[in-house]
Structure formats: C-alpha cells, structure tokens
A and B are shown apart, each in its own frame.
Chain A
C-alpha cells in the first residue's frame, strides 16, 4: 500500500538513499537536525544556517594555505653542518627518473592539485548561490566533479606523514617543522569542518531550483 502511495508522488519531490536505494519524501529537516536513512543510517540531508558562506570562506582559506604550503618549507633537517629544507613541491617531485616519475605526478595531484581544484570548484559553484545569483554555467557538472575528487584529496594524510617522517629520521639528523607544516595542520582542520558543514542535497537542490526558491519552499 505504502509503495503505491509513494510511487504516486512526483519523483522530483523524492530523495533516494545512494547507499541502499530506500526512497523518502524529501523534506527539509528542522534547523540543526539531520535527515538520516532509516535503513542504513546514511546522512541524507543536514542543512545548517549560513553554511554556504562558511564553506566559501573555508575553501578560500584552504586555497591560500595550499598555495602557501607549496612555497614555504615544511621540514628542515640538519646533520653535521649540512642543512636542507624541503617544500611541498620538493616532496611531490622527489621521485625522479624512470617509472618513479609516475609517482611524482600522483603525489603532486593528491596533495596539491586535487585539494586546490576542490577549493576553486567549490567557490565557483557556491559563490553565486550565496549571493542569491543564478548558478554559474556548468555548475552542476563542476559540483559533480568536486564530489568525485573528494576521496582523492589527501592533504590530511600527508600531514600525518610529516609527523611519521620526523620520528623516522630522528636518530639520523635533527628535524624541525617549517611554516608550511603548520599551514598543512590548519588545512587538515579546515577539511574536517568543511565536510561537517557541507549538505550535498541542499547544494544539488539549490543548483537545480535556485537558492531563493528552495528557501521559500523549505517549510512546506
């Protein structure tokens, strides 16, 4: 009975759990509450006040931090009078020669290019929405791309790698953190907050119907 009931609803008003295929009538939850799939507990809708603005500011900060982290040294080493500093770019490009060059490209992408691309895409897609402007051209495809890149953005893993490296050569030489390390540590923190604030369903709905339209419709 229920299934025929929900099948009669316009599909545009439904939301499907991407993990288990359960469908629900999409309804904006109360402020501060989340809509969770009753079957597999995947978070479906989790809106927050002024989330758009906060996410844009977080993305802009991340972008500045990644750019800074590329140029400033993140670790400094000294032993018997020899001193060396490494920047992020040095680490990314450290595998030279032969097949290891592939690894250099991969590492550069995972710790520099992908995090930067995600920040730029997020600002481009959400920026106009926050200021109640129509979605920019290609916004839906570009947001899809930003989402696809999410698992490949590995800045936070790199930051933990720095700490492990520090311990690993502790007996070989003296190591100390440079400014870029702290930028990276901040970036890890920003990434976590960014994911907390991002409600993907709200973004898709806004991109499809416009930000204002969704807000007016929300209480219904």
Chain B
C-alpha cells in the first residue's frame, strides 16, 4: 500500500478510531461509524471474555457430539448406530479411506485444532508471545476460514436422513450428536469472530517497544 516505505502508523496512535466493518476512519471518541453504523471501539476490551465464553460453550457441546451417535441406520431389521469416529472407521473398512479421511479432518482434526488455536491466540495477546505477529495473524485467518467446513458432517446427516427412507429396505435417522455437533461448530465460529485481531499486533508492538527500552 501507499505507506509501505514509511513506518507503520495505527489509527490508535494517530488519535483515530477505525471501523472494522467498512474501514472508514473517525476521530477518537466517535461512538458509531457514520458510514455503516457499526459501534466503534479502538480496541475491543471485552473481546477476550466473549471469545472464552463461546469457546467454552463450543467445547461443552463437542463432547456429546463425539459420545452420542450421529446416525441410526436401519437395514432390513438390523439397526446400527454410528458416532462420528465410528462412522469414519466404517467408511475406511468399506474401502473409502479417502472420504473417511475427509470426515476425520473436518469433524475431529479441525475442531480440536480450532479449540487449541483460539485458546493459544487468546492467551498470547494477554501474556505476550515469542511467535511473530505475522504467524499468529496467519493462524487466526486460517481458523476463521476453515471453521465453517466442519459443518459438512451435519449436512451429510441431513442429506442421508432425507434420502434414505426406503421403508424396510433401509432407513437412516439422525442421532442426538448431530445437534450437539452443529452447535459446537456455530459456537466456535462465534468465538473466532469475537476475537479482535488488532490485539495481536498491539501486544507485539508493545513487546518490541519494551525490548528496545531494555
């Protein structure tokens, strides 16, 4: 951008407050963005408590999502129940390891990775971190982008339930884990959205300033 060669100035340093929705800049102390109507805060100080609240809600839903069955499949008179991991193992056994891997990544690796990443980011802005802000910001972008994809397993359950209704031959019903899992994904998305990424850069700027003083 135009200021690339000159040292970076933040809106806060310049006595201004930025709208994070429409990028418009206003004098410090302005309450509301005159362009898009968003409430203006130079730094969202309540951001972290909202992040942790959604994070805890998401984690709380994640346990039942894995313990209870996601699908109840009835073929002729045989009924079987599958949890998320159980379903993926079943797929691998049926000779579809690639799809099993997609499900495991979307439903296990991504959610757990997200919980860990958000917790680490939230702790790092409070306590400081040796990891450069560029890397932490990159991680935040990945978390924000990838979180929605965990919803795939819920959609698969919805599709199968609607489709596999063949009287006695075969039928599929959703299990309680479907709701728990959907809630867990939604709560972690809200947790990531509540995080104010500007905190990553502030803390880094403060740290390097104190390094210079030392």
Q: What chain B residues lie within 8 Å of A193 (beta carbons)?
A: none
Q: What chain B residues lie within 8 Å of A20 (beta carbons)?
A: 10, 133, 137, 197-198, 200-201
- Report Cα–Cα, A94/B155, bound state, in Å: 10
Are A164 and B152 touching (Cβ within 8 A)?
yes
Contact residues of B between 7 and 35, Cβ < 8 Å to A: 7-16, 18-27, 35
Q: Determine whether B65 belongs to the interface, using a CB cutoff of 8 Å to chain A.
A: no
Given contacts A103-B158, A141-B37, A143-B36, 15 further A-B contacts (CB under 8 A): A2-B7, A6-B9, A11-B26, A15-B23, A18-B20, A20-B198, A21-B12, A40-B197, A103-B174, A107-B182, A168-B87, A168-B91, A168-B96, A169-B172, A172-B73
- Report Cα–Cα, A193/B38, bound state, in Å: 27
Are B149 and A157 touching (Cβ within 8 A)?
yes
Given that A86-B159, A200-B22 are known contacts, is A140 also in contact with B167, CB under 8 Å in the complex? no
Q: Determine whether B121 belongs to the interface, using a CB cutoff of 8 Å to chain A.
A: no
10 CB < 8 A contacts A-B: A7-B16, A14-B11, A14-B16, A16-B24, A23-B25, A82-B170, A103-B182, A168-B160, A169-B163, A208-B35
- Rounded to whole Å, the gap between the CB of A179 and the closest CB of chain B is 15
Q: What chain B residues lie within 8 Å of A151 (beta carbons)?
A: 144, 148, 189, 193
- Report Cα–Cα, A147/B37, bound state, in Å: 13
Are B162 and A91 touching (Cβ within 8 A)?
yes
- Report Cα–Cα, A168/B16, bound state, in Å: 54
A107's closest neighbor in chain B, by CB?
A: B158
Q: Determine whether A106 belongs to the interface, using a CB cutoff of 8 Å to chain B.
A: yes
Q: 0/1 per residue, B170-211, Cβ < 8 Å to A?
A: 101010101100100010010001000110111000000000
- Report Cα–Cα, A102/B60, bound state, in Å: 18
Q: Determine whether B151 belongs to the interface, using a CB cutoff of 8 Å to chain A.
A: yes
Instruction: Select B148's contact among A100, A144, A157, A208, beta carbons within 8 Å.
Output: A157
Q: What chain B residues lie within 8 Å of A144 (beta carbons)?
A: 21-22, 36-38
Q: Determine whether A95 belongs to the interface, using a CB cutoff of 8 Å to chain B.
A: yes
Mark A residues whose CB is within 8 Å of B. Answer: 2-3, 6-7, 11-12, 14-25, 27, 35-40, 44, 75, 77, 79-80, 82-87, 90-95, 99-100, 102-103, 106-107, 110-111, 140-141, 143-144, 147, 151, 154, 157-158, 160-162, 164-165, 167-173, 175, 200-201, 204, 207-208
Instruction: Select B169's contact among A80, A87, A90, beta carbons within 8 Å.
Output: A80
Q: Determine whether B67 belongs to the interface, using a CB cutoff of 8 Å to chain A.
A: no
B102's closest neighbor in chain A, by CB?
A: A164
Are A154 and B151 touching (Cβ within 8 A)?
yes
Q: What chain A residues lie within 8 Å of B148 (beta carbons)?
A: 151, 154, 157
Please provide the 8 A-B residue pairs with the shortest distance between their CB atoms, ordered closest to farther: A16-B18, A161-B155, A82-B166, A94-B161, A90-B162, A94-B162, A86-B162, A7-B14
- Rounded to whole Å, the gap between the CB of A114 and the closest CB of chain B is 11
Given that A7-B14, A79-B170 are known contacts, is A95 also in contact with B178, CB under 8 Å in the complex? yes
- Rounded to whole Å, the gap between the CB of A160 and the closest CB of chain B is 6
Q: Determine whether B103 belongs to the interface, using a CB cutoff of 8 Å to chain A.
A: yes
Given that A11-B16, A11-B27, A16-B25 are known contacts, is A79 also in contact with B166, CB under 8 Å in the complex? yes
- Rounded to whole Å, the gap between the CB of B36 and the closest CB of chain A is 5
B168's closest neighbor in chain A, by CB?
A: A82
Contact residues of B between 84 and 135, Cβ < 8 Å to A: 87, 91, 94, 96, 99, 102-103, 133-134
